[in-house]
Every structure is written in C-alpha cells, then in structure tokens.
C-alpha cells in the first residue's frame, strides 16, 4: 500500500481504487443501518439486520435508517458529481454548488413557492431545479468573465456575495409569511433525516436526463480543461458543452436540494478527494466521485447521529465543519501566485 502512494495519482490503476471505494461504500451503508441515535443498541441492530428483530426494531432499521441511507446515497452521488462538473466548467478547484450560490438559488425558489402557498410535503422538484439553474447561470457568467485571470478566490467571493444576497431575499419573503417561515426553517438546514422517499422517486427522471447530459459532456470537458482555444481546436463547441453541463448541474443540485435542503461543501470535498486519489483528469475523477460522494455523506451522517446523542446534528452543519478546512487546504496546497 505504501508503494501505491508513491505512484503519481494520474497513473494509479483506476480499477483497484474504484473497487476498493465501492467496498468502503458498502461498509458505510451497513454501518449506517447499525448505528443510530435511537434507543436501539448496536447488538439489537445487528440482530435485526440478520432478521431476528422485533417489529419496532425492524421499523427503525429497515424503514427509518434505510431511508436515510438511501437518501444519503443519492445526495452524495448528485452533489459530488455536480461539484466535479462545476469545477471542470469553471476551471476552478473551489467551484462548489453550495459556496457559489446554486443551493441558495434553489432555496430561494423553494421559499417563493412556500410563500405562494405550497407546503414542503408537496414541493415540486422542478422549482428547486429551476432556482438552481438561475443561481448557476449567474455565478458562471462571473466565472467566464474572470476566466483569464488565474485567481480562484474571485469566483468564491462572487459566490459568497450571491449567496448572501439570495439568503437576504429569502429572509425578506419569510418576513411576510409566518407559516412559510416555520416550514422553511426546518428544511433550510440540510439534513437527510425525516425526508420521505416519494420525492426521491419524483426526482429520478430528471436524474436520468442529467446522466445523459454528463455522458455527452464528459469527454469534451476533459479537453476544455486544457483551455477554450484548445477545445475549439480539437473540434468541440465550448458554449454547447457548458450549457449542457450547467443544465446537468442544475438538475443534480436542484434535485438534491429539494430532497435534503441545502447541504454545502460536499461538492468541494468529494472531487478534492477524488483528485487526490486518481489525478486531475475529469474522466477519472468523475467515476471515482460516484462512490466517494455517498461514502462521505453517509459517514458524515453516521457521525452526525453519534456526536450529539440523544439529539442529532443536521448533516449541513457537519459537512460545513468538514468542508471549511478542506477549502483552506485546497487554497494552501495550490501555490497560487496571488495568494
């Protein structure tokens, strides 16, 4: 294993990393079923998993915990991929849906529909996705604008500014509607607990579209990483690739936000870990993001159940706590001239 770390990330065998990542993911899923904040002991959970539990225990393990595991799986998958895509399009390792205001756009759209009379239960996924698309477009226009200047912080600042603006507008809306305010304050803390699987099912078709978009865009994206002119020279159409990727990101982030509320930093941490393992090529990192995203979300969720027993810490808080140091790590490790 030590010798494995001596191989440059870009030359490591993708297959072995991929397989071991999936093994870890399976382990995480099992742990997610075993551990919990409730009164169920580890032993009882284990027995239940083997099929010898009481009805209550079965409900806890196979309904409550299994649901949140599945949702965690979904959130990790979508946000991790979305982060990797956004970073490739913006050509900036700090581009992250949560940081750049995409999730905030989604939240605002949800808040608007809540104020207009919907409730969180009947929330349509399309609204959240539309909001994400608007946030995405806004922030990427900035990214394109400052593309030549090798200064990733600008994009993050622009995103932070956009987020704070969108959150202020969200607060403004909630000022006028107490009922919506009451509903949204639970939703706005990103969490995988207590969400229902029906929304998950309604999201799936759009995820299929997003998947097709990604399959179309992944190869051109790899050449776009070499620069816009190179991509044109290789016969790609950068504008079209970007548009396709932005749609995919909006679908992914909007879907995830509709289900779990805004969860920041997943899109930053996952591609960062993937790049550290297999190098910067998007075709490799994207594959690795598939298992890595769920691994990180599910393990964060397990921790969030255990640290504040008997209460739980929402996932969004925990990911922020993990993500902020990673953000700094990225900035410090890339010896950027302006830093």
Tell me the C-alpha distance between 123 and 249, whole Å: 20
**186 contributes a contact to other proteins by CB under 8 A:** yes
- Given 58, 124, 189, 202, the residue binding other proteins (CB under 8 A): 189
Start-end of H helices in 39-151: 42-50, 55-58, 66-90, 102-115, 125-145
**89 contributes a contact to other proteins by CB under 8 A:** no
Do you know the residue count of the chain?
339
Segment 200-219, which members bind other proteins (CB under 8 A)? none
Q: In angstroms, how far is CA 300 from the centroid of its own chain? A: 13
Min separation Cβ 19 and other proteins, Å: 33
Q: How many residues bind other proteins (CB under 8 A)?
A: 51
* ω into 310 cis (within 30 of 0): yes
- String of b and e for 293-305 (b: at least 16 CB within 10 Å)? bbbbbbbbbbbbb
Segment 152-181, which members bind other proteins (CB under 8 A)? 153-154, 156-158, 160-162, 164-165, 167-169, 171-172, 175, 178, 181
Residues 6+ apart with CB under 8 A from 305: 35, 36, 37, 312
Min separation Cβ 121 and other proteins, Å: 17
Which residue lies nearer to other proteins by CB, 171 or 309? 171
Which residue lies nearer to other proteins by CB, 49 or 169? 169
Min separation Cβ 165 and other proteins, Å: 5
Q: Are 293 and 81 in contact (CB under 8 A)?
A: yes
Angle between helices 125-145 and 102-115 (to 10 degrees): 140
Instruction: Name the DSSP class of 7.
Output: S
Min separation Cβ 253 and other proteins, Å: 16
Of 285, 126, 106, which is closest to residue 187 (Cα–Cα)? Answer: 106
Q: Would you give the binding string for other proteins spanning residues 265-304, x where CB under 8 A is met? A: x---------------------------------------
Residues that bind other proteins (CB under 8 A): 98-99, 138-139, 141-142, 145-146, 149, 153-154, 156-158, 160-162, 164-165, 167-169, 171-172, 175, 178, 181-182, 185-186, 188-190, 264-265, 313-314, 316-317, 320-321, 323-325, 327-328, 331-332, 335, 338-339
């Amino acid at each position: 294993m030590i010798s494995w770390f001596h191989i440059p990330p870009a030359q490591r065998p993708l297959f072995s990393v991929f397989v071991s990542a999936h093994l870890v993911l399976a382990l995480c899923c099992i742990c997610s079923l075993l551990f919990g904040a409730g009164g169920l002991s580890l032993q009882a959970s284990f027995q239940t998993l083997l099929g010898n539990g009481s009805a209550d225990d079965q409900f806890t393990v196979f309904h409550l915990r299994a649901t949140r595991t599945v949702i965690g799986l979904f959130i990790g998958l979508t946000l991790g991929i979305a982060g990797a895509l956004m970073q490739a399009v913006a050509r900036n390792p700090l581009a992250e849906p949560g940081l750049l205001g995409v999730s905030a756009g989604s939240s605002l759209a949800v808040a608007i529909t809540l104020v207009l009379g919907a409730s969180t239960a009947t929330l349509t996924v399309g609204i959240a996705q539309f909001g994400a698309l608007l946030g995405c477009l806004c922030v990427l226009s900035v990214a394109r604008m400052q593309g030549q200047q090798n200064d990733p912080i600008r994009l993050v600042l622009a995103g932070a500014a956009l987020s704070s603006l969108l959150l202020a507008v969200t607060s403004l809306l909630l000022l006028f509607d107490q009922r919506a305010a009451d509903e949204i304050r639970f939703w706005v803390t990103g969490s995988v607990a207590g969400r229902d699987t029906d929304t998950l099912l309604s999201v799936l078709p759009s995820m299929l579209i997003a998947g097709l978009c990604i399959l179309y865009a992944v190869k051109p994206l790899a050449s776009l990483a070499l620069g816009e002119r190179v991509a044109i020279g290789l016969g790609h159409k950068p504008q079209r690739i970007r548009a396709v990727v932005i749609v995919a990101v909006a679908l992914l982030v909007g879907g995830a936000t509709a289900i779990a509320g805004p969860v920041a930093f997943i899109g930053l941490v996952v591609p960062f870990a993937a790049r550290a393992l297999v190098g910067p090529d998007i075709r490799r990192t994207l594959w690795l993001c598939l298992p890595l995203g769920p691994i990180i979300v599910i393990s964060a969720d397990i921790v969030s159940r255990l640290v504040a027993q008997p209460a739980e810490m929402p996932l969004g808080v925990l990911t922020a706590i993990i993500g902020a140091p990673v953000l700094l790590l990225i900035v410090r490790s890339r010896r950027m001239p302006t830093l």
